[in-house]
Amino acid sequence: DLVEGLSETWLPGTTPHSKRLYQHLDLPAPFDDRHWAIRVQNTQPLHAATTGKAWERVWAIDPAGQGALNELPASFLSAPNAPNPAEALWTPVNEGGWTLVPAAGGVIVVYQVRTDIGGNIPDELVLQYALSTLDDLIEHVGELAARAPSHYRAGHYDIVRPDGARVPAW
């Protein structure tokens, strides 16, 4: 739900320490949809250097590459309005991260991403599209943060810190 038109599902091998995701982006006509598989991880050095205050979560294309398409859950592919991976172009580069740093009265959130979406779309058009979705992305992240106390309760899958310790549920 982070960006309109983005569908995703977890892939086998996801653990509390490392998430594997397949993501499919439905682009407006006349452009072909794009898809990719990424591995998402918390990084330990920043967490350790700040005695647990700052967190960084990074992602990059999954080492399985396009082979990850063979691991898509049947339930995802057969869901109503499911994306069709056969009609999407593979995104060869997708890497980035979120960094969270405590600040007086809140948290500074830093978001960075580098991508090559493949195909024959001018870079300027890709940049304009990405920037047009940024406000919605940041707004949605704020909504998720506000909802966390009522969502992350007993019975939720574990969320772990970069050092491997479980984040206690509310």
pLDDT, tens digit, 9 for 90 and up, residues 18-41: 999 999 999 888 889 999 999 999
pLDDT, tens digit, 9 for 90 and up, residues 82-140: 999 999 999 999 999 999 999 998 889 899 999 888 888 888 888 888 888 888 888 88
Q: What is the pTM of this model?
A: 0.86
Q: Which amino acid is at 160?
A: V
- Contact (CB, 8 A) for 31 and 121: yes
